[in-house]
């Protein structure tokens, strides 16, 4: 099939996210699906959200909460355990 489409087989296979190549194809998919793209800020590579997309605010809020939980989890061992718990129980239940 890849030969017919004139693409590499990895481009049409389910990515194995446990490899760097699979991770790259996941990034490509995130770009198409969610508008997340690679960019550069002050010489550092980063992933950015496309502000023009209608789901920007929702995804931004989710990533903001993740970033806050991650920063809080770096404080000490108890915080890192709480961060792991946060990831295991994401998304938080609606109360």
Same domain, 16 and 43: yes
Same domain, 7 and 31: yes
> Number of C-alpha atoms within 13 angstroms, CB side, residue 57?
1
Asked whether residue 32 is domain-assigned, the answer is yes
pLDDT tens string for the chain (95 positions)?
A: 878 888 778 777 787 889 999 899 999 999 999 999 999 999 999 999 999 999 999 999 999 999 999 998 887 888 888 889 999 999 877 54
Local structure of 65: helix, strand or coil = helix
Cα separation, 86 vs 92, in Å, equals 8
Q: What is the domain range of residue 39?
A: 2-48
Q: Please state whether the peptide bond connecting residue 91 to the residue before it is cis, i.e. omega within 30 degrees of 0.
A: yes
Structural domains in the chain (count): 2
Q: What is the pLDDT of residue 77?
A: 82
Q: What is the pLDDT of residue 94?
A: 55
Select from 44, 42, 8, 43 the least CA-distant residue to 28.
8
Same domain, 15 and 33: yes
Asked whether residue 61 is domain-assigned, the answer is yes
Asked whether residue 69 is domain-assigned, the answer is yes
């Amino acid at each position: 099939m890849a030969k017919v489409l004139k693409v590499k087989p990895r481009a049409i296979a389910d990515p194995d996210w446990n490899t760097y190549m699979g991770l790259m194809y996941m990034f490509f998919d995130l770009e198409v699906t969610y508008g997340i793209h690679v960019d550069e800020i002050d010489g550092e590579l980063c992933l950015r959200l496309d502000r023009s997309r209608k789901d920007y605010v929702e995804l931004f809020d989710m990533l903001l909460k993740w970033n806050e939980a991650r920063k809080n989890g770096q404080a000490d061992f108890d915080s890192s355990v709480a961060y792991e718990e946060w990831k295991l129980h994401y998304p938080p239940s609606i109360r």
